[in-house]
């Protein structure tokens, strides 16, 4: 069921890098100060600069394409999902922003609800392929509590979407939990599972540093189709039949942790996390965002 937010007293926020963060309740939060990051986008290979600024409560997270006339805005919401091929792209009108999932995961994983994200190009920088740099920038900028409480939603019945043997589901649960599984023929990856409970384990340490990964035999095909133009061994793990081309890994199961990172970013497009167990297997940005859309529809139906 959907619960209306109530005003609650201001309180100090815990350090975003030192303790678990409650994501399904509590006060809305924004940044104390703005920060700037720049780098090359994974798919388009273009250098862009991102400026993230504090925003008022109930504003959510909004991108602004400052390189375009009148700086058109794109809300980070399920209604803005436009394309989900190997990344999540948001669009409103002619304004588009691609590969938003790592930045959104960092903001959501640290409990930042309201920000304005000014970007001077069509794709968010990949940085080192993880959310680590975003998390560090957010922590340095600081997080402050706002007066309004977060809207909350408790899932009462299962919701799922699947494609072949891949699926993502939301199940009723006493607390928010994410579980992800992957299965690849390459021995260095194989079958991996990972679970993360935000109220028990810090996002910055458990999930944020896991980097994006690719398969060596797919690179040429993807580049021929205009993708991963900005990918390199400096910003993505690459796996071949003989193992990893650029070890060492940050976790023994870094690939599945990164998939969980993507899921957090994509599901954050709901602008809240439901009290539910989110379970995914061999899923994709397409399935992630489909689940988010189904949950959003359920919330509207229940009023």
Q: Are 108 and 268 in contact (CB under 8 A)?
A: yes
Q: What are residue 139's phi and psi, to 5 degrees?
A: -65, -40
Burial bucket for residue 60 (CB in 10 Å: 0-12, 13-18, 19+): middle
Catalytic hit among 102, 277, 285, 286: 285
DSSP state for residue 70 in the 8-state scheme: T
Contact 252, 191 (CB under 8 A): no
User: Beta 276-281 vs 177-183: how paired, if at all?
Assistant: parallel
Bridge-based pairing of strands 47-54 and 276-281 is unpaired
Contact of 129 with 250, CB cutoff 8 Å? no
**In whole angstroms, what is the distance from residue 194 CA to residue 90 CA?**
28
How big is the CA angle at 178 (ends 58 and 248), to the nearest 5 degrees?
110
Q: Is 285 a catalytic residue?
A: yes
Q: Which of 300, 303, 279 is nearest to 291 (CA)?
A: 279
Query: E strands of 112-190, at which residues?
Result: 115-119, 143-149, 152-153, 159-163, 166-172, 177-183
User: Rounded to an integer, what distance in angstroms lies between the CA atom of residue 55 and that of residue 76?
Assistant: 14
Identify the sign of the CA torsion 49, 50, 53, 56: positive
Q: How many CB atoms lie within 10 A of CB 193?
A: 13
Backbone φ and ψ of 84, nearest 5°: -135, 30
Known catalytic residues are 285
């Amino acid at each position: 069921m959907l619960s209306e937010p109530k005003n609650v007293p201001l309180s100090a926020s815990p350090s975003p890098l030192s303790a678990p963060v409650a994501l399904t309740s509590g006060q809305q939060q924004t940044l104390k100060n703005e920060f700037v990051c720049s780098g090359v986008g994974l798919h388009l290979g273009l250098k862009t600069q991102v400026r993230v600024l504090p925003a008022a409560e109930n504003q959510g997270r909004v991108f602004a394409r400052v390189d375009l006339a009148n700086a058109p805005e794109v809300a980070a919401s399920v209604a803005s999902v436009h394309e989900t091929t190997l990344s999540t792209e948001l669009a409103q009108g002619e304004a588009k922003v691609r590969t938003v999932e790592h930045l959104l995961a960092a903001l959501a994983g640290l409990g930042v609800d309201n920000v304005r994200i000014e970007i001077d190009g069509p794709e968010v920088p990949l940085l080192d392929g993880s959310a680590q740099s975003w998390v560090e920038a957010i922590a340095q900028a600081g997080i402050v509590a706002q007066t309004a409480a977060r809207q909350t939603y408790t899932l009462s019945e299962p919701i799922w979407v699947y494609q072949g043997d891949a699926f993502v589901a939301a199940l009723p649960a006493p607390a928010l939990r994410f579980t992800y599984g992957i299965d690849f023929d390459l021995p260095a990856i194989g079958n991996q599972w990972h679970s993360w409970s935000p109220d028990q384990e810090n996002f910055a340490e458990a999930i944020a540093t896991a980097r994006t990964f690719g398969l060596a035999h797919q690179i040429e095909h993807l580049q021929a189709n205009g993708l991963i133009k900005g990918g390199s061994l400096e910003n993505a793990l690459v796996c071949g039949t003989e193992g990893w081309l650029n070890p060492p890994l940050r976790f023994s199961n870094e690939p599945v942790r990164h998939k969980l990172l993507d899921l957090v970013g994509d599901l954050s497009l709901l602008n809240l996390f439901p009290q539910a167990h989110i379970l995914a297997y061999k899923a994709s940005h397409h399935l992630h965002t489909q689940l988010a859309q189904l949950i959003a529809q359920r919330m509207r139906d229940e009023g």
